[in-house]
Amino acid sequence: MFIEFVQEQILLFVAMAVIVAMLIWSYVGDKVSGINNVDANDAVRLYNQGAKLLDVRSEGEYKSGFIGEAKLVTPSEIEQTMQNMANQKDQPVLVYCQSGMRSAAVAKKLSKNGFSQVYNLKGGIAAWKSAGLPINKPVSKKKQKRQRA
């Protein structure tokens, strides 16, 4: 009876197998790649312990607010940033973007290049904001001059 059902609904079972495989890969893939996805609470802990923060969003997104003293790293600057951090490969690095997708790719690249403590903020800065955590905004040059006076 079960065999007949499977034979009649083969497309349904193939679709189910693909979905199960994708779910397993989404869980196991990050473990194999050498990066750790962390939530906002773990990101706060890493920040407080001195992790280097890399914001891999666009400049416009960065200007709308960033975490702590995060360094903006555009896609064209990734290679140079890795070279500049070559002597810090054993230090923790927290990478984030808007939703966690772009930063996951950068985190994998860092890991493949020998960085041993790479963390990706799961959900990106959106998750950070949803957790009610503070963000910083760049200070304009005019404001900097007023503050100095």
Q: What is the pLDDT along the chain (149 residues), one digit of tens a residue?
A: 778 887 888 898 899 989 998 888 777 766 666 678 999 999 999 999 999 999 999 999 999 999 999 999 988 899 999 999 999 999 999 999 999 889 999 999 999 999 999 999 999 999 999 999 999 988 766 655 665 65
CA 125 → CA 25, 66, 71, distances in Å? 24, 8, 14
What 3-state DSSP class applies to 115? coil
* Dihedral (CA of 129, 125, 137, 118) sign: positive
* Dihedral (CA of 92, 105, 36, 58) sign: positive
What 3-state DSSP class applies to 100? coil
| CATH number among 3.40.250.10, 3.30.70.1400, 3.40.50.720, 2.60.120.260, domain 35-137 | 3.40.250.10
- The four Cα atoms 106, 111, 115, 121 give a dihedral, to 10 degrees, of 50
What 3-state DSSP class applies to 108? helix
| Rounded Cα distance, 68 and 110, in Å | 21
Domain boundaries, the chain: 1-33, 35-137
Q: What single string gives the DSSP state of each residue in 56-89?
A: -S-HHHHHT-BSTTPEE--GGGHHHHHHHTGGGT
User: Quick one: tokens of 149?
Assistant: 């006076």
